[in-house]
């Protein structure tokens, strides 16, 4: 795992445990530390393990997503980072400070300066106007009224709600309320954003819209974001790295692609099997080197060059694809007794880029013809055979099936 390897991690959790029950540091803790599972600890000590040896680190400027089902401890993990929750054991380093040791005024000052938090059900103050909600963090910091109103307006403009400053939260729709929540987190310009299922309460269309907006804002502001979700699709979409939790411990940490294509445990595999792996596999992994056919070739020569591949491209002097010869086309023209290559070429072929995901080319691949993979200069760098897409996805599928066999047999 990645823990400790990175010296400049902004947030780092080391061996964090949280035990619920009357004696959180007693027998239950010993059992958990000895490596027993949550169920086992509960059976033997009647204590509930919330977090079980949690280790991860989040780099500055990264979106780190913790994904898990309810009861997996993901919210507990998030709340340990600003000590809304006191852990039973372990260190929670944020910017070189062990948060769990902070008390009283120190803790309040730390929360004010370092963090903003966004909640699943928005958690806006219903009796304050939108602007006052957004300015609350600054108010607590003791910023003068004019200044904090200005900062609040800036944050509201950022999320596109400048016109609603004087409304009450209840007059806004769910999506707008969550934007207010986001603006509130951004207003005091903290380094770290903690987002607790921030978009889970919104309907799917708004949710995806908010995800896009957040990514756009993030591309400008470069905050460190710790994001909690139970939606794997969301996690894969926005997370630079994704951490999958189950029963208070971590199953896997990795990029979206690692999660999808190299699931570490059966649990993760079970999880990701309904997800379209094509989203994380890039075109350049499935394409093969182009073996362009010369323009001067005859149809028979060209067909011979193609072999059993679905088709090949013809490039101009710059290396850009200008025509496509597919195996069926060639055979059909040849059966009519014509051996002219030009007669069998088609120009209505699809192009794509090497870093596109497989899911982007599904529609194009549906036509059954090879797709030209071109670089920024328009030069042909590869040919993507539709059959290769299926094959690539099939490899992952087989991996999943193996895991499934482990789970069910």
**Token digits for 398?**
């087989």
Q: How many CB atoms lie within 10 A of CB 42?
A: 18
Using the contact rule CB under 8 A, the part of the chain among 105-113, 229-237, 306-314, 327-335 near other proteins is 105-113
Exposed/middle/buried for residue 307 (C-beta within 10 Å: 0-12, 13-18, 19+): exposed
Extended strands (E) in 128-231 = 192-196, 224-229
Is 36 a binder of other proteins (CB under 8 A)? no
Task: Find the shortest distance in angstroms from Cβ 393 to other proteins.
Answer: 41
Rounded to whole angstroms, the Cα distance separating 132 from 187 reads 11
Is 136 a binder of other proteins (CB under 8 A)? yes
Is 93 a binder of other proteins (CB under 8 A)? no
Is 151 a binder of other proteins (CB under 8 A)? no
Instruction: Check if the beta carbon of residue 217 is closer than 8 Å to that of residue 158.
Output: yes
| Residue window 172-191: x/- pattern of binding to other proteins, with contact defined by CB under 8 A | ------------x---x---
Is 387 a binder of other proteins (CB under 8 A)? no
Using the contact rule CB under 8 A, the part of the chain among 104-112, 214-222, 250-258, 330-338 near other proteins is 104-112
Is 322 a binder of other proteins (CB under 8 A)? no
Q: Which C-beta is closer to other proteins: that of 1 or that of 86?
A: 86
Using the contact rule CB under 8 A, the part of the chain among 4-12, 115-123, 263-271, 360-368 near other proteins is 115-123
Is 140 a binder of other proteins (CB under 8 A)? yes
Is 108 a binder of other proteins (CB under 8 A)? yes
Contacts of 57 (CB under 8 A, 6+ apart): 2, 3, 4, 6, 9, 11, 12, 13
Helix (H) or strand (E) holding 49: strand 48-59
CB pairs under 8 A, 24+ apart, for 107-115?
A: 107/83, 108/140, 110/82, 111/82, 111/83, 112/137, 112/140, 112/141, 112/188, 113/141, 113/188, 113/190, 114/82, 114/190, 114/191, 114/192, 115/81, 115/82, 115/190, 115/191, 115/192, 115/193, 115/194
Q: Which C-beta is closer to other proteins: that of 108 or that of 209?
A: 108
The strand order across the sheet containing 115-118 reads: 115-118, 192-196, 224-229, 63-67, 241-246, 249-254
Instruction: Check if the beta carbon of residue 196 is closer than 8 Å to that of residue 228.
Output: yes
Q: Which C-beta is closer to other proteins: that of 107 or that of 297?
A: 107
Rounded to whole angstroms, the Cα distance separating 317 from 284 reads 23
Residue identified by tokens 């896997």 is 252
| Residue window 345-374: x/- pattern of binding to other proteins, with contact defined by CB under 8 A | ------------------------------
Task: Find the shortest distance in angstroms from Cβ 323 to other proteins.
Answer: 58
Is 110 a binder of other proteins (CB under 8 A)? yes
Is 38 a binder of other proteins (CB under 8 A)? no
Helix (H) or strand (E) holding 371: strand 371-374
Is 105 a binder of other proteins (CB under 8 A)? yes
Q: Which C-beta is closer to other proteins: that of 137 or that of 311?
A: 137
- One of 19, 194, 333, 373 touching other proteins (CB under 8 A): 194
Using the contact rule CB under 8 A, the part of the chain among 6-14, 76-84, 236-244, 314-322 near other proteins is 76-84
Is 84 a binder of other proteins (CB under 8 A)? yes
DSSP 175: H
Rounded to whole angstroms, the Cα distance separating 172 from 307 reads 63
Q: With CB under 8 A, what is the number of residues at the site for other proteins?
A: 28
- One of 9, 94, 102, 115 touching other proteins (CB under 8 A): 115
Q: Which of 89, 112, 96 is nearest to 18 (CA)?
A: 89
- One of 125, 204, 215, 346 touching other proteins (CB under 8 A): 125
Using the contact rule CB under 8 A, the part of the chain among 30-38, 45-53, 86-94, 103-111 near other proteins is 103-111
Is 218 a binder of other proteins (CB under 8 A)? no
Residues making contact with other proteins (CB under 8 A): 79, 82, 84, 105, 108-113, 115-117, 119-121, 123-127, 136-137, 140-141, 184, 188, 194
């Amino acid at each position: 795992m990645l823990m400790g390897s990175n010296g400049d991690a902004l947030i780092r959790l080391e061996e964090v445990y949280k035990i619920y029950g009357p004696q959180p540091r007693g027998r239950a803790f010993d059992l958990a530390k000895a490596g027993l599972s949550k169920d086992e600890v509960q059976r033997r000590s009647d204590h509930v393990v919330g977090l079980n040896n949690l280790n991860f680190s989040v780099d500055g400027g990264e979106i780190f997503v913790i994904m898990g089902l309810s009861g997996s401890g993901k919210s507990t993990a998030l709340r340990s980072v600003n000590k809304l929750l006191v852990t039973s054991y372990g260190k929670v380093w944020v910017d070189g400070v062990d948060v769990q040791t902070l008390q009283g005024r120190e803790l309040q000052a730390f929360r004010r300066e370092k963090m903003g938090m966004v909640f699943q059900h928005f958690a806006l103050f219903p009796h304050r106007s939108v602007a006052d909600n957004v300015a609350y963090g600054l108010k607590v910091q003791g910023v003068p009224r004019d200044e904090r109103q200005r900062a609040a307006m800036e944050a509201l403009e950022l999320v596109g709600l400048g016109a609603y400053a004087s409304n009450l939260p209840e007059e806004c729709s769910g999506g707008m309320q969550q934007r207010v929540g986001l603006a509130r987190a951004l207003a005091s310009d903290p380094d770290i954003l903690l987002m607790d299922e921030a978009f889970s309460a919104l309907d799917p269309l708004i949710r995806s819209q908010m995800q896009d907006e957040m990514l756009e804002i993030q591309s400008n502001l470069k905050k460190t974001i710790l994001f909690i979700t139970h939606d794997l699709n969301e996690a894969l979409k926005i997370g630079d790295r994704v951490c999958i939790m189950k029963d208070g411990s971590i199953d896997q940490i990795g990029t979206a692609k690692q999660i999808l294509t190299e699931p570490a445990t059966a649990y993760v595999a079970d999880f990701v099997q309904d997800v379209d792996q094509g989203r994380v596999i890039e075109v350049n992994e499935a394409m093969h080197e182009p073996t362009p056919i010369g323009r001067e070739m005859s149809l028979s020569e060209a067909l011979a060059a193609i072999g059993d591949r679905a088709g090949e491209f013809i490039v101009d002097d710059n290396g850009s694809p200008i025509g496509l010869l597919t195996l069926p086309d060639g055979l059909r023209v040849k059966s009519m007794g014509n051996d002219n290559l030009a007669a069998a070429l088609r120009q209505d072929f699809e192009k794509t880029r090497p870093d596109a995901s497989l899911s982007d080319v599904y529609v194009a691949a549906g036509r059954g013809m090879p797709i030209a993979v071109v670089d920024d200069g328009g030069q042909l760098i590869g040919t993507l055979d539709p059959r290769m897409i299926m094959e690539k996805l099939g490899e992952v599928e087989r991996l999943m099936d193996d895991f499934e066999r482990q789970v069910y047999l």
